[in-house]
Structure 1
Amino acid sequence: MALDTRVLQGDEWDVWYDQLELAFGGVPESPEERQLYRSLTELERSLGVWDGETCVGTAGAFSFRLSVPGAAVVPAAGVTMVSVAPTHRRRGVLTSMMRRQLDDIRAGGESLAVLTASEPEIYGRFGYGTGAYALSVDIDTTRVRLSVPPGTDEVRLRLADLEKSLADCERVYAALVPARPGMPARRPGWERQGLLDPESGRSGASPLKCVVAEGPDGEVVGYARYRVKPDWERSGSDGKVQVSELDALHPAAYAALWRYVFGIDLTWHVQAYGRPVDDPLLHLASDVRRVRPRHRDALHVRLVDLPAALSARSYGAPLDVVLEVEDAFCPWNAGRWRLTAGADGAVRCERTGDAAELELSVRELGSAYLGGVTLTSLATAGRVRELRPGALREASRAFAGDVAPWLPHGF
């Protein structure tokens, strides 16, 4: 029987999501989490592959607006919920979903697709490159001190109700989005993700807590959401603070929030995951080794409409370069493109018959797009080829950003 790929219908969602859970180990999610993602699912952007009445493949997309270098926030498809049943491996199910999905994204006018990958090696063959990384820390607070900036002592902190503080926390988050590439501008409903707190997911830690930082006028200028996991040794307490979010609008509030979580009674460790790789915490800490930083991939980026995507961001230096781009999966992107960025900020990307100066695939452009991966490093790995002396240095400098791109939450 031929497999049937079709847009998801509302009455099919539970069966479709059951297949997704099965592909990720078969452990049911909490009712709270399942209900949230049901409410966030965009049915018209969700695909199911069916073998008769059995769902054997899933893929979806969220309609995001993503920050890119230059403070612009551009439409992007947040690819999500991708799975293939173990009974239907190596039958082209994933390729067929990726093909249809990218065609639909292009037809809908989005120039970018982004995703987080359970297995990063899968998506490179569809043109996705790792564009942002994440930092995790596990800090021994008995051996690390914080050197805080002037004004930290003037920041007022108060414990706040999760629901009542939600609007203030979202205003802080929204103000930060344009300043750092890779951050989604949250659409209605996504603010609920940060409040998910099923008991089944706490692993012995406390319910989620929130502390807010206030300025002199009482305005909320930062917040942290965290859990406390009590633990004891023969010598006494050995509790841990698990930070899920910490954002602030200025350095004093930022430092005050970290100092707060460092000082919670009966705890001797602070753990945080998914932080930006250039997190200022690394400079506040007295001993960065005791912070135990670890990196991993976070956001994978795919240019769907190459000229539109390259024209949507700004560049750190004037640029005039001809790119020879390989893109077998989306051939409309393949060929030579002249990318120019003027000192006045004007950017153009057009097809050209001029001689190529840099040769690369769309995957490398995806990695470099948000400014956190340099073209020079990709060239050193043999993935970018310089055809005109000096072109690599010019382009790498122009693509690089002032801050590391960051995806603050999954999707």
Structure 2
Amino acid sequence: MTVELRALEPGQWDNWYGKLERAFGSAREPAEERALWQGLTEFERSIAAWDEDEVVGTAGAFSFGLSVPGGPVVPAAGVTMVSVASTHRRRGVLTSMMRRQLDDVRQRGEPLAVLTASEPGIYGRFGYGVASEQLRLEIDTARVRLALPEGVDGVRLRFVTQEEGRDACEEVYARLVAGRPGMLERRPGWERLPTLHPEEAREGSGALLCVLAEAEGEVRGYTRYAMKAQWGPQGPDGTVVLRDLEALDPVVYAALWRYLFGLDLTSKLVARNRPADEALLHLVSDARRCRPSTRDGLFVRPLDVSAALEARKYTAPVDVVLEVTDPFCPWNEGRWRLSGDSKGAVCGRTADPADLALSVRELGSAYLGGFSLSSLARAGRVRELRGGALTEASVAFRSDVAPWVAHGF
């Protein structure tokens, strides 16, 4: 068998995407959803694996800006739409696509590649490490109460259509990106993704609604949600299905949650993707009845160790030599001296003795500050070679705000 990798051509998209749908075991997606992804596809960054005249593998990448600790937004490749036909598994198709893709990312000068994984066990061998978590909540709003800050009653809430609210919502989101690592800077066209809600994919919920929150005449927050009507023997028992809730200050944030908790005919609120350090859990009367659970969020893969480590800032002074292994991208292997603090950093090759030894996968996991080098060391994935170096580096790499990616891609 000979499989040939080629850049995707626009006229091949429907066939290519159809093979992706089949690999994920789903029926054809709604036309509205397909149209969105087709419009966002970067064809020069999309790979089709061909066995003669049949597409047997797919992979793509989006050009993103990724927020990193300290506020900078760094160019990153958003790896997406990866699949291999079940007839062609274990024949090196995925490895060949990953090889071509990461070489391309490097040539483009992007220091990072990121993805969200359908199966987390796949990507570690290619150097991706899980770098953030997402929190799921199932809140019993009939029994959980909120402790609200002063000023909540002064927040004005108003309904708008998705089109009417889009610019205001995007402005709020954009102002929040630099303040939380792991968020994606939305490029033109991506503003349509948060409002995508085709009827065929609603799982019994109604239309997507948008509410803006204003204070002193300025839009300072918003929420998008849908309602799923349910009735039991005792009466209404509906569910609020949260899509987004973003706010620029704690008062507006609390006002939006109060609004959602108080919606008529509902007794439950489901949020499938919130930050791991969600402040709501400090406002509720009973966090247990919010049923919090976490799962992996964003995976990070450094493509250029020096550029990646220099791009972010550090919460404490650090001067450490890292011995990095990276068999899939060997240009990263070797010793790197990282010197930095809250103002910036420099990182370059060195012949000095190593202080810590780790693979590029662990470096990816620690990069956004969501997982500590110390916890990775306790798992045997980071080795301390100089006494005190682990604590120094672990403290410096941590982020005061949990990393989080607000939506998939």
Q: Using the alignment, how far apart are the partners of 2:268 and 2:81 within structure 1?
A: 33
Match of 2:365 among 346, 367, 379: 367
- List gaps (5 residues or longer) in structure 1: none
Q: Using the alignment, how far apart are the partners of 1:325 and 1:62 within structure 2?
A: 27
Q: CA deviation at 1:356?
A: 0.6
For 1:40-189, what aligned pairs fall within 5 Å after superposition? 40-189=40-189
Q: CA deviation at 1:26?
A: 3.2
Q: Using the alignment, how far apart are the partners of 2:275 and 2:170 within structure 1?
A: 18
| Residue identity in the other structure for 2:369 | G
| Residue identity in the other structure for 1:19 | K
The alignment partner of 2:297 has SS state of strand
| Residue identity in the other structure for 1:405 | P
Deviates more, 1:195-204 or 1:170-179: 195-204
The alignment partner of 2:62 has SS state of strand
| Residue identity in the other structure for 2:16 | W
The alignment partner of 1:179 has SS state of coil
The structure-2 alpha-carbon separation of the partners of 1:342 and 1:262, relative to structure 1 and needing over 3 Å to count, comes to closer
| Residue identity in the other structure for 1:151 | G
TM-score (norm 1): 0.99
Q: Using the alignment, how far apart are the partners of 1:148 and 1:182 within structure 2?
A: 28
Aligned residues: 409
Other-structure match for 2:400? 402
Q: CA deviation at 1:73?
A: 0.3
Other-structure match for 1:275? 274
| Residue identity in the other structure for 1:116 | T
How far does the alpha carbon of each residue in 1:192-235 deviate from its partner, in whole angstroms, 9 at most, with x for none? 0011111111111110001110011x211100000000001111
| Residue identity in the other structure for 2:323 | E
For 1:202-241, what aligned pairs fall within 5 Å after superposition? 202-216=202-216, 218-241=217-240
Other-structure match for 2:348? 350
Q: CA deviation at 1:143?
A: 1.2
Q: Using the alignment, how far apart are the partners of 1:376 and 1:273 within structure 2?
A: 29
Other-structure match for 1:339? 338
| Residue identity in the other structure for 1:340 | S
Q: Using the alignment, how far apart are the partners of 2:95 and 2:337 within structure 1?
A: 30
The answer to whether the Cα contact below 8 Å between 2:176 and 2:248 also exists between their aligned partners in 1 is: yes
Q: Using the alignment, how far apart are the partners of 1:409 and 1:234 within structure 2?
A: 36
Q: Using the alignment, how far apart are the partners of 1:333 and 1:3 within structure 2?
A: 28
Other-structure match for 1:301? 300
The answer to whether the Cα contact below 8 Å between 2:130 and 2:299 also exists between their aligned partners in 1 is: yes
| Residue identity in the other structure for 1:74 | V
| Residue identity in the other structure for 1:36 | L
- List gaps (5 residues or longer) in structure 2: none
The alignment partner of 1:81 has SS state of strand
Q: CA deviation at 1:179?
A: 0.2
Q: Using the alignment, how far apart are the partners of 1:26 and 1:231 within structure 2?
A: 27
Other-structure match for 1:385? 383
Question: After TM superposition, where is structure 1 displaced by more than 2 Å over at least 4 residues in a row?
Answer: none
| Residue identity in the other structure for 1:363 | R
TM-score (norm 2): 0.99
Q: Using the alignment, how far apart are the partners of 1:182 and 1:96 within structure 2?
A: 27
How far does the alpha carbon of each residue in 1:344-392 deviate from its partner, in whole angstroms, 9 at most, with x for none? x231111011101100000000000000100000000010000100000
| Residue identity in the other structure for 1:334 | E
Q: Using the alignment, how far apart are the partners of 1:131 and 1:86 within structure 2?
A: 29
| Residue identity in the other structure for 2:245 | L
| Residue identity in the other structure for 1:137 | L
| Residue identity in the other structure for 1:189 | G
The alignment partner of 2:185 has SS state of coil
Q: Using the alignment, how far apart are the partners of 1:6 and 1:306 within structure 2?
A: 28
Q: Using the alignment, how far apart are the partners of 2:264 and 2:41 within structure 1?
A: 40
Percent sequence identity over matched residues? Answer: 62
The CA RMSD over aligned residues, in Å, is 0.7
Q: CA deviation at 1:160?
A: 1.1
Q: Using the alignment, how far apart are the partners of 1:125 and 1:264 within structure 2?
A: 46
How far does the alpha carbon of each residue in 1:120-147 deviate from its partner, in whole angstroms, 9 at most, with x for none? 0100000000001000000001110011
The answer to whether the Cα contact below 8 Å between 2:313 and 2:341 also exists between their aligned partners in 1 is: no
